Structure 1
């Protein structure tokens, strides 16, 4: 699978394998980040293969995805041989075990044939980290971890044992990696003291292939777009309420929700929309393939990203923000985490304080009706090209990997 990019003849370009808990090429935020990794590395002349370890439960809402294939020049295959696993939790876990065995053999064979320089792991699961650390040590392959969320941010408090496990994980597990890539300053500050001596930490923000988000078609008048996991019900409900408050002032306002999630979550979302009397003004599309996403987002006149205040929003940075900006449409987003480091209110986006539905609605009104909003969208697109280009960001990762292999990990 590890074919070299045809764009570069540099024989020394590193070879990467990306694996972990995500779907590919279709999926949610994790998938979008992995796609950006792969595209950026490919354009840097690297060999890259993607091997998802995820096994979805039967009945999951998924876009059509083959278990192996090629997407935009990137070879991928599901380690378990199937996108959807068998019925039953234990049977799916066994399928994951078999997939992990396949992945370990793939790493061994890659080292023995064309070579392999680094494995990038997306996902926090200890059952994958330990065996990958062992085989990477055995074959002198770098093990790199991508951390885009604060550890255990969605976990319930738990009892004494659970708290003890979290404390042990935070103090020990990050020392197993040769390098860690984080998405925010908060994660950088949190994980830096937990790394072992000689390893490295690199902050890489969201990435987007902005060239894909262009359209010659004019946007649909009054259409507000949103993309994300439908499990974030509170954020979507804030958006629905904001849009509902605009109906009298902007009669043609309506909302497009492009979502991923389980059948149960989709059903609950539909019920929430109906409860607020917005069924006729909200169009819900689920499991949209990656190649169809740019056109859908470009069809909106404005794009919205409401976020609640919390550790998850302060430590993370949603990949869809980069996609929104790349469309050139005005973006309304809550001011959380590192977002204000890249965007300025009224200049290249409309920034709103968290948990204020009325203020969010006011910003949406400006994005839809203000004559200056078109220029705001254009400047937002410039930010996407300047700050979030996958090739530019992955050049930094390639340099770190090359430095680590030459013994200069902190260059």
Structure 2
């Protein structure tokens, strides 16, 4: 009897793992890209938690004035819990790629502007299933690289192992190479010339543009799930969090794989590509919570710092989890933008000298929770923000808004998850 109960418990646990929703896996995402002509392309996942319980992964286009003109439903949303896709602009800025995961397969498609699908390809791994965790990037020739976390099926009923599958596609949709490695996948970095870095939990791999392994470096201790790769002058850096409060370990490698530096630094939220990192934190004061943002170099030396009041504090008023992880972006002029996730959404802008330019609050159309998923700036300094939002703690909707360089709200686009009826 006890054995039967144990088997039932194990089966339920496995079923729960396989069928977990993207939110439960922490993979509820959106992506956004602003084309040179001003059109805004958004990939998003929407879900109804009330009848008819519809799930959609969608590609949408907004004009520069906020009017939504085009709409595609991406595959897979009705057959399983689907991760919203990634939108990867090609270097010519006249086309982009979509990567969309459906657990059993990965769909890759190329679109040319304004909204024409040129080709589409779906690939599977017979011996594995995908984990709804992808990274994708392009090189200067327009080739697309897609790295996926996969579960390899073993011979036993519950035997699986984690691995990474890297696939390279040329601009015509032809597969150039595939590469499979064992270990939890963490991050992908592709150089302009097509050299690829794969970060796994226990090693860093470097591949040539034709998929040959150039070198690998193993780690004594596993890197965290939040570890990232950064392209730096002359090499690559691995940022690994989890070494004390607000602290990360930064490993710097040359292009030949030689380890040159290991430093304890603040957690890097953004990198400018030239060896300067940006970090930020929200911390309590007597009557308020303060937001501090600062820049530091590869040695950990602080180069720039600014702060402002994030919000007032009343008694024992703890920070919400969403507030503890601000989003930070930087434009080409050195202006820094920080987003604090909590309705109302707070957006703070500093210039390159640390002068506060504006601090604005935005209410996402009556939604009671909103998380910034992607932010981008155009060449005029306009800010575009994509948020996943909920109403009543249930339905997941998509919100996009645009602000001027001074922080004035220009337009808001909402895709209500109940709009699926209009697009059936």
Q: What's the TM-score, normalizing by structure 2? A: 0.27
Higher strand share: 2
Q: What's the TM-score, normalizing by structure 1? A: 0.27
Higher helix share: 1
